Amino acid sequence: MKPISLSFASLAALLSGVSGLARFSERSTSNPNCFPFGSQAKLNANLQPPHVSREEWWCPQSDFYGFLGFSFPFQFTNMDFEVASISSHMQQMKRQFGATMIRMYIPESYTTQLWENVLEAAILNNMGVVVQVAFPISGNDASISRRHSSPQLSWEKVLETTLFETLAHSKYSKIAPYVIYAAEYLNEPVGDCDMCAAGSNGNASEPASLTNLTMGMSNFRKEMHKYGIPAGISEDWDRPYLMSGAPGSDGLGVGLGTVGKALEPVLDFIHAHVMAYYHNIQIDDAWTYTANQVLWYKKYLPQFPLIISEMMWATGYNVLHAGGYITGFAIAEVSEADYTKFWKTVDANCAFLKEHNTAYFIHAWRQQGTLNMLQNDGSVVIPNWKPKKWC
Ligand SMILES: *[C@@H]1O[C@H](CO)[C@@H](O)[C@H](O)[C@H]1NC(C)=O
Ligand SMILES: *[C@@H]1O[C@H](CO)[C@@H](O)[C@H](O)[C@H]1NC(C)=O
């Protein structure tokens, strides 16, 4: 009897799976009760957590594709993070682009206040948040941490500690796991060799450096798991011999490199930096590169949810981000027209992103020179445009 009933059961499952799939592909919006896409899923301003588990609260992973929102830097400043300011940026992101989430980028805050203010603003505006703890882009300057109250700690440690403190003891601690979708550890630590041991010559795969990085990632993830929040590293895996393996005939690394292999067991999530721009790809080839990167992640790291948390183009020359003539990197052509073409091409490929269950943030909202969507006069580079969330 058993094999027969089993085969009936699996036939039924197959049939319902097929019709479920047909309905799924016709669907244009999420279940109204799941966050952050459902119209009925509302964070409570009185800070009471929803009456469902965290798993039931968040929309299913299959809903996470297409445009989520912006990478929102809190860099260079410890001033511009009042709740009212964060909130007004969020309102503009929602109103003009239909954003549902933000990704915090290099939050240079060394108290719990920034975390609390972002949570408050996100709750008021009903948006999800990807948090990040990262070194300042200029590295781990011990002389600066000495000026702060915790002389023993590096910047990354101070950031981590203030985030953990907010999650454990602030008035937001109960609701925070319903606001924070995922957590990123560091920002391109391999490319910048942020966790490299002294004397490593910038080689992130040297054993002591590798230990620093994987231990740091693993400890951070353990802490995030106390709140049910998945964690990952914020990196570009198109780094042959490090994140990816030795390049194959198509130029992409085959399999995982030394650092990628060491990190894989301590990740829940891929926060990918897919950056045609920094790989000196011309605008007309940028989507092909991007799509091939998505396929690379799906081939070699298929078990993880994939969000492209950093992807960019520039509107103009900028010594940091388009210094080709001077610095020899990021030599792609840059203009408002190229910027617009890049993002509209990504948007036009919503069906591909859906097929590969890949969501993305636009990097960046502000503070990144000519990568910014928001201009100094308050206008945006691409007006009257709502990139597709559903397709
Ligand atoms: C990495 O580990 C070495 C010891 O192997 C230590 O001296 C160094 O400070 C560590 N670096 C970081 C960034 O944690
Ligand atoms: C980096 O370190 C690894 C492990 O020690 C070594 O195999 C590799 O050759 C080094 N890479 C460079 C470019 O020195």
* pLDDT tens-place string over residues 270-303: 999 999 999 989 999 999 999 999 999 999 999 9
178, 54 contact by CB (below 8 A): yes
Residue 206 has pLDDT above 80, yes or no: yes
Q: Which amino acid is at 106?
A: I
Residue 35 has pLDDT above 90, yes or no: yes
For range 126-145, the mean pLDDT: 72
Q: Lowest-confidence range among 164-178, 179-193, 320-334?
A: 320-334
For atom 4 of ligand 1, the residue with the nearest CA is 197
Would 10 be classed as within a structural domain?
Answer: no
For atom 14 of ligand 2, the residue with the nearest CA is 203
- Residue 364: per-residue pLDDT: 97
Could you say which ligand is closest to the alpha carbon of residue 156? 1
Cβ of 126 less than 6 Å from ligand 1:
no
Percent of the chain with pLDDT over 90: 73
For atom 5 of ligand 2, the residue with the nearest CA is 206
Atom of ligand 1 nearest to the CA of 216: 14
Residue 202 has pLDDT above 70, yes or no: yes
Residue 148 has pLDDT above 90, yes or no: no
HSE, side-chain direction, 13 A CA sphere, residue 30: 22
Centre of ligand 1 from the C-alpha of residue 210, in Å: 10
| Cα 261 from Cα 130, distance rounded (Å) | 24
Cβ of 197 less than 6 Å from ligand 1:
yes
Pocket probe for ligand 2: among 205, 213, 258, the residue whose CB has the most ligand atoms within 8 Å is: 205
Angle (deg, nearest 10), helices 207-225 and 155-169: 10
- Residue 30: per-residue pLDDT: 83
Residue 326 has pLDDT above 90, yes or no: no
Say which CATH number the domain at 262 has: 3.20.20
* Top-confidence residue, 383 or 196: 383
- Residue 153: per-residue pLDDT: 60
Would 385 be classed as within a structural domain?
Answer: no
Residue 230 has pLDDT above 90, yes or no: yes
For range 334-340, the mean pLDDT: 95
Q: Taking the C-alpha atoms of 66, 383, 102 and 123 in order, what is their torsion angle to the nearest 10 degrees? A: -110
Stretch (H or E) spanning 310? strand 306-310
Q: What is the pLDDT of residues 60-114, one digit of tens each?
A: 999 999 999 999 999 876 667 899 999 999 999 999 999 999 999 998 877 899 9
| Cα 37 from Cα 68, distance rounded (Å) | 10
Pocket probe for ligand 1: among 133, 157, 212, the residue whose CB has the most ligand atoms within 8 Å is: 212
What rounded mean pLDDT belongs to the chain? 88
Query: 3-state DSSP call for residue 359?
Result: strand
For range 250-264, the mean pLDDT: 97
- Residue 47: per-residue pLDDT: 98
Centre of ligand 1 from the C-alpha of residue 311, in Å: 30
| Cα 195 from Cα 163, distance rounded (Å) | 19
> Is residue 318 very low, low, confident or very high in pLDDT (cuts 50, 70, 90)?
confident
For atom 8 of ligand 1, the residue with the nearest CA is 197
For atom 2 of ligand 2, the residue with the nearest CA is 206
Would 142 be classed as within a structural domain?
Answer: yes
102: domain range?
Answer: 35-371
- Residue 23: per-residue pLDDT: 41
- Residue 79: per-residue pLDDT: 66
Would 46 be classed as within a structural domain?
Answer: yes
Would 171 be classed as within a structural domain?
Answer: yes
Q: What is the pLDDT of residues 209-229, one digit of tens each?
A: 999 999 999 999 999 999 999
For atom 12 of ligand 2, the residue with the nearest CA is 203
Domain count for the chain, please give it.
Answer: 1
- Residue 324: per-residue pLDDT: 54
- Residue 237: per-residue pLDDT: 98
Strand bridging mode 270-273 / 358-362 = unpaired
Residue 139 has pLDDT above 60, yes or no: no
Query: Where would I find the beta strands (DSSP E) of 207-347?
Result: 231-235, 270-273, 306-310
- Residue 2: per-residue pLDDT: 32
- Residue 20: per-residue pLDDT: 40
Residue 370 has pLDDT above 70, yes or no: yes
Residue 187 has pLDDT above 50, yes or no: yes
Would 173 be classed as within a structural domain?
Answer: yes
For atom 11 of ligand 2, the residue with the nearest CA is 203
Q: Is the peptide bond before 276 cis (omega within 30 degrees of 0)?
A: no
